[in-house]
Amino acid sequence: VEAADDICYSVVDLEDGWELGCVTFEEVERALAPIARHPDKYDGDANQRWNDLRTESWYTEKSENDRIGFLRGKAIGNLVKAAVDAFIANEDALLTGTIEGDLLANTPLGVDAKACKRLAVEKIYNAPHVLPIEMAGFEVINGLLNSFVRAAIDIDEHINHGKRLPPQADRIDKLLSGKITDAPDLYSRLMRVMDYISGMTDRYAVTLFRKLQGITI
């Protein structure tokens, strides 16, 4: 899970940042090209691998959007393979908690992945027009947690103590196909709520939050 998070920070967030205008195409290209062109297959340091890619006609003939898509796909593929190889090579150290650094840091792409994360922190996460979106995201998550956790508690009290079940809790349980009611105890009910919320896409989370708050119907 940690490696998957790092891959998202290293690649996908840069693409999103480019679409939002937080970083330039050249900044994203310079960061992702060394990962897309794995050092095991291509000669030179990060800058050389980036510059070599920009001289290849099949690449330069593509639109910026297609080039970003190519870099994203190749970079994710190489990072996933590197993470798998690192896990296999360091399995004992991982299981005993003695590995130094994160999983990607123990791969040939570790330095390049770290540079991508640094670019995302510097140019994307703290961008003035991104912060309000992030703040709104916190409100959405808090609102969903409040509604769903309250529903889990209400359902537990209804089952174990005969308390009246509020209509909102009943509807949320139906939204989860009765999985809250079917859970054996309060802890399990809360875990099912957390699993459901964590599996939401951003768009669905916002839509559901707005409906639960009565903003839209």
pLDDT at 102: 83
Q: Are residues 60 and 151 in the same domain?
A: no
Residue 136's domain comprises 131-212
Q: Decide if 7 contacts 32 (C-beta within 8 A).
A: no
- Write the CATH number for 105: 1.10.3410.10
Q: What are phi and psi of 215, to 5 degrees?
A: -75, -40
Residue 11, CB half-sphere, CA atoms under 13 Å: how many? 27
Regarding whether 162 and 93 lie in a shared domain, the answer is no
217 within some domain: no
Q: What is the pLDDT along the chain (217 residues), one digit of tens a residue?
A: 677 777 877 788 899 999 989 999 999 999 999 999 887 777 778 888 888 888 889 999 999 999 999 999 999 999 999 999 988 988 888 888 888 878 888 888 999 999 999 999 999 988 888 788 888 989 999 999 999 999 999 999 999 999 999 999 999 999 999 999 999 999 999 999 999 999 998 889 999 999 998 888 7
pTM over 0.75: no
> Do residue 159 and residue 89 come from a single domain?
no
Q: Which of 125, 150, 183 marks a domain boundary?
A: 125
Go through the chain and tell me how many residues it has.
217
Q: 121 and 147 share a domain?
A: no
- Which among 120, 134, 111 is positioned nearest to 15, based on CA atoms? 120
Rounded to whole angstroms, how far apart are CA atoms 160 and 208?
Answer: 28
Does one domain contain both 120 and 145? no
Q: At what angle do helices 110-120 and 46-53 cross, to 10 degrees?
A: 80
Q: Does any domain span residue 89?
A: yes
Q: Into how many domains does the chain fold?
A: 2
Is there a single domain that holds both residue 79 and residue 139?
no
Task: From 188, 119, 121, select the one nearest 152 (Cα to Cα).
Answer: 188
Closest by CA position to 148, among listed 123, 174, 128, 124: 174
Please indicate, yes or no, whether residues 100 and 182 belong to a single structural domain of this protein.
no
Same domain (yes/no): 53, 143: no
Residues 82 and 152 in one domain: no
